[in-house]
Amino acid sequence: MAKRLNGNCPLAFLPSCLLAPSPFCLITKGVTPMYASIGNGTLLSGGFSSISNGLQALGMASIELGIDREYRVAAIKPTAEKPNFVLASESVVQEYKKHLEQNGVKISAILMGNNFNAPDLAAELNWVIKTVQIADVLGIRAIRIDAIMSGEREMSLEKRQSHFAECVHKILDSTASSDVAMGIENHGFQGNDPDFLDGVFASVGSQRLGLTMDMGNFYWAGHPLDKVYKILEHFAPVAKHTHVKNIAYPEAVRNKPRQLGWEYGKYVCPIPDGDIDIAKVAGFLKKAGYKGGLNIEDESLGKFTKEERANILKRDAEHIKSILGE
C-alpha cells in the first residue's frame, strides 16, 4: 500500500536512483525537456540594466513574466518611449509577441498575484481569464496563480477548497478552447497545506490545473526536510511550472517541524548553498514527465550588496544549468 501524507496524500516510495550518491542520475544532457528560466523581477533585482542584459550575463533565454492588473508587462529591451507594454488590446499583444521573437526570449510562465477572495471577485476572475487568453496568443503554456486568499485563516478547510475550486471552474469554463494551464503556487498558509492542494485538484479534476511547484516553500512552511521531498515527489505529476529557491537551516532543525516561516530572513540563501537538493527534485519532475522551466526565484538577494547580487544570480544559473546538462 502507498504511504499517505497528512492522511490524504498517497505517496510512492522514492526511486532507488534518487537515493544514489550522484545528484544527476535522472538528468542527462540532451534528454531533459526542462530548461533554465528566471523571474523577471528576480533578474532585475540582480542590478542588470534590462532583462536582455541580465539574460545575456546569465547565459539564459527564458523568463517568468509578471503581469499586473492593468496587463502591464516588462519590455525585454526598454526604451524611454517604451519601458513596458500594456497587453490590454489585441494589437499590443501581437506587438509584444514580435518583441519577444526579435529578442529571442521564451516565456516559461506568466506570474499573477491573484486573490480569489477579493472584494471584487468578478474583476479578479476576469483578470485571470484575460491573462489566459493573452498567454494563448503569446504561446505561453502556463500561468502561476496564487493560493493566498483574503481571510483564509477564518475559513474552514472545506470552505476554502470549495471556494477556490469554484473560482477555477469559472476560469476554465470561460477559456474552454484554451490549453493554457494554471499552476497554483504552494505559497503562504493554505498553499503549503498538501491537503488543501489535493482537495482543490480533486474537486476541479482538470489537466489544466496543477501546481507551480515552489521547491523552497514547503520547507519555509515548517515541514521537515525529509517530508518536503515526499511532498514534492507527490506533486511532481501535476507540476505546471516551478520556482527554485533554497534555505540553509541549522542541521539541528532541518528534520524537525518548525513554525510557518521560521527565521526565513536569516536562513534563506543562494540556490546552490541550501539544504534542498535541487537535482533530486528535478529528478522527480523528469520522472513525472514535466516539460517546463526550472525558474530561479532567489529571495536571498536582499542580504547582499547591489554589487554582489549579479554574481549570486550567475551562481544560481550555473547550478540550474549544470543540473540540466546545459
pLDDT of residue 24: 37
Check whether 30 has a pLDDT greater than 80.
no
Mean pLDDT, range 208-232, rounded to an integer: 99
Which pLDDT band, with edges at 50, 70 and 90, does 326 fall under? confident
CB of 66 closer than 8 Å to CB of 73: yes
d(Cα 326, Cα 320) in Å, to the nearest integer?
A: 9
What amino acid is encoded at 70 in this protein? Answer: E
Q: Is the pLDDT of residue 189 over 50?
A: yes
* Candidate from 25-29, 131-135, 153-157, 207-211 with smallest mean pLDDT: 25-29
Q: What is the mean pLDDT of residues 186-195?
A: 98
Q: What is the mean pLDDT of residues 197-218?
A: 99
Q: Which residues pair with 74 in a beta bridge?
A: 84
User: Span 101-124, mean pLDDT?
Assistant: 98
Mean pLDDT of the chain: 92
pLDDT > 70: percent of the chain: 90
pLDDT average, residue stretch 229-255: 99
Other beta carbons within 10 angstroms of residue 1's beta carbon come to: 4
Q: What average pLDDT does range 221-235 have in this prediction?
A: 99
What CATH fold (topology level) applies to the domain 33-324?
A: TIM Barrel (3.20.20)
Q: What percent of the chain has pLDDT over 90?
A: 90
Half-sphere exposure of 281 (CA within 13 A, CB side): 28
pLDDT of 243: 99
Q: Kindly list the domain boundaries of the chain, sorted by start residue.
A: 33-324
The stretch 163-179 carries a mean pLDDT of 99
pLDDT digits (tens, 9 = 90+) for 33-56: 899 999 999 999 999 999 999 999
Residue 32 has a pLDDT of: 57
Picking from 25-39, 122-136, 196-210, which range would have the lowest pLDDT averaged per residue?
25-39
Q: What is the pLDDT of residue 7?
A: 36
What pLDDT was estimated at residue 4? Answer: 34
